[in-house]
Structure 1
Amino acid sequence: MSQILQRFAPAKVNLGLSVTGVLDNGYHTLHSLMVPLSVGDDLTFEVADVLTLQVTGADLPTDERNLVYRAAQAYLRAADIKTGVRITLHKKLPLASGVGGGSSDAATTLMALKELYPSSMDLHPLATSLGADVPFFLIQQAALAEGIGEKLTPVELPELHLVLVNPGTEVSARDAYLWLDQSGEFTAELPLSNILHALKHRLNVPYFNALEPAVVTRHPEIAAVLQTLRETGLTSPMMSGSGSTCFALARTAKEAGQAVQILKSHFPMHWCTAAHTLA
């Protein structure tokens, strides 16, 4: 009987995202605290003669245009595997939303294929070749990301409760970074020790997102979400990554759940959910 693996691909948020500059090759240098969350996509993997991908829950391509397909293809080639894998991606996260869904799906694919087709291969270079956020999801815990996102230092955090809202606006990371380049408003490194202290003691968190001003200027619906998050009594609202998902912190899971109900009444067509960070 064919071996079947079922895997969860967690979303992430950036608890602060500083873009300190841009390199000659176009990549940006980052300083960001990233955390995996309890919400995400589901994937199923089964050994097969050839590589195939099926997607449910979203209208996405199922060939080389899909990061999951490219991740599987990259692993099979690097490990010199002559057979394939049948993958089903159950998409639950909003698309192009700043919570790393595609990157997490790709990292999860690499890890699953290494289990189906064991090898001594280091997955980190493959992950880096697929995208700046993909290596983060290999370590499966909070981390400080530096360089172009590939230099990762694990960070211990208390469990955090969050509320996430996505207004249905797809923002490409390429556009968000282009708008930052045009403004030239690069930022200093995050005040990491102050952020960690605030998270531990449930204070207002002194993080920021360098991409947020330019994105919000072009998408007032994101500004409306941030304002409503403030009005619900949640703390430290911010846009995650390149947007358009925004989040804020709650003191407890109960408070997060209550806030979601309030937000759904304000934004009945938005994706709203409570989540907590993963250890």
Structure 2
Amino acid sequence: MLSFPNAKINLGLHITEKRPDGYHNLESCFYSVGWTDVLEIIESDKLTFTSSGISIPGNPDSNLCLKAYNALKKDFDLPSVHIHLHKVIPIGAGLGGGSADAAFTIKLLNEKFNLKLSPSQMEDYIRPIGSDCAFFIQNYPRYCYNKGDQFEDISVSIKGYYIILVYPAIHVSTGEAYAGIKPQKPVIPLKEVLEQPVSSWKDTLVNDFEDGVFARYPVLATLKQTLYDKGALYATMSGSGSTVFGIFEKEISVEEIFPSEYLVWSGFLQQ
């Protein structure tokens, strides 16, 4: 069976407070986009994982897809499978690609072996694997809070707008992103900002990570300005970086705008 785990972007991101457990509470809106990996699961004599496309760092035995399989294996008599992941979404780019791969593994196994898990049950299985994994189970725009693993429905749609995502081959570590962050509540609640037209977001829809990350990697600030210069209604960094995206009213050509070593995805938003 095949599935296509998709990336997400953050529409606004506020670090609101430091938690007693050392993590941070945040608020954001996760929004699905059409940049996808390819995931295949077939029955096999033994549990195996392989990958192609973008090289995945680390030990393959600790891949999030295998962690998702093992989370279900504890409670279900799953047969052995071979999992193959063709990696297209850049890694460590603020797009949630690895989290999507894990969540889609849960969904694919649920469908393939008729486990009859509800969406909320699948979210409970995947949540311990990564803070934003649970979003990809239902995979529609959600307001997220706490560690980014709790969700509420939110009425926001940018369906039909054209989006360009640019990954400039820069890896921003979590530690770098949080360095210098001073948690605080936003002046205007995120939900109120998202109720306004996209054309008004430029000065009000903020990613708290931008100031610190842009200071370390000025090229990201240049990318954001380039998107505005090309007519974006709104442009920002996604998550903790380093992908920068722009939202446009109509399709524009991205050829010759960005250096060849950058990864670029563009398309119309479908939800």
TM-score, scaled to structure 1: 0.87
Once superposed, which parts of structure 1, at least 4 consecutive aligned residues long, lie more than 4 Å away?
none
Q: Contact 2:234–2:248 (CA<8 Å) still a contact in 1?
A: no
Q: 1: CA distance between counterparts of 2:135 and 2:181?
A: 28
The AA in structure 2 aligned to 1:109 is: T
Give the structure 2 partner of residue 69 of structure 1.
66
Give the structure 2 partner of residue 150 of structure 1.
149
Unaligned ranges ≥5, structure 2? none
Q: Tell whether 2:21 aligns with 1:14.
A: no
The AA in structure 2 aligned to 1:137 is: F
Give the structure 2 partner of residue 138 of structure 1.
137
Q: 2: CA distance between counterparts of 1:244 and 1:84?
A: 36
- Structure 1, residues 114-170: CA drift from partner, whole Å, max 9, x if none? 112232441112211011110111112111001112221223414032111111001
The AA in structure 1 aligned to 2:242 is: S
Q: Contact 1:54–1:89 (CA<8 Å) still a contact in 2?
A: yes
Q: Secondary structure at the match of 2:93?
A: coil
Over the matched positions of the two proteins, sequence identity in percent amounts to: 27
Q: Secondary structure at the match of 1:34?
A: strand
Give the structure 2 partner of residue 228 of structure 1.
226
CA pair 106-223 structure 1, distance change in 2 beyond 3 A: same
The AA in structure 2 aligned to 1:68 is: C
Give the structure 2 partner of residue 50 of structure 1.
46
Give the structure 2 partner of residue 84 of structure 1.
80
Q: Tell whether 2:109 aligns with 1:113.
A: yes
Task: Give the C-alpha shift of residue 213 in structure 1.
Answer: 1.2
Number of matched pairs: 263
Q: 1: CA distance between counterparts of 2:192 and 2:182?
A: 26
Range that drifts further, 47-56 or 182-191: 182-191
* Residue number among 208, 214, 226 corresponding to 1:216 in the alignment: 214
The AA in structure 2 aligned to 1:171 is: V
Q: 2: CA distance between counterparts of 1:10 and 1:229?
A: 22
Range that drifts further, 44-53 or 7-16: 44-53
Q: Contact 2:7–2:35 (CA<8 Å) still a contact in 1?
A: yes
Q: 1: CA distance between counterparts of 2:261 and 2:122?
A: 39
Q: What aligned pairs does 1:142-181 form with structure 2 within 5 A after superposition?
A: 142-156=141-155, 157-159=157-159, 160-177=161-178, 179=179
Greater per-residue helix proportion: 1
Range that drifts further, 126-135 or 56-65: 56-65
Q: 2: CA distance between counterparts of 1:196 and 1:276?
A: 21
CA pair 276-62 structure 1, distance change in 2 beyond 3 A: farther
TM-score, scaled to structure 2: 0.90
The AA in structure 1 aligned to 2:3 is: R
Task: Give the C-alpha shift of residue 63 in structure 1.
Answer: 2.9
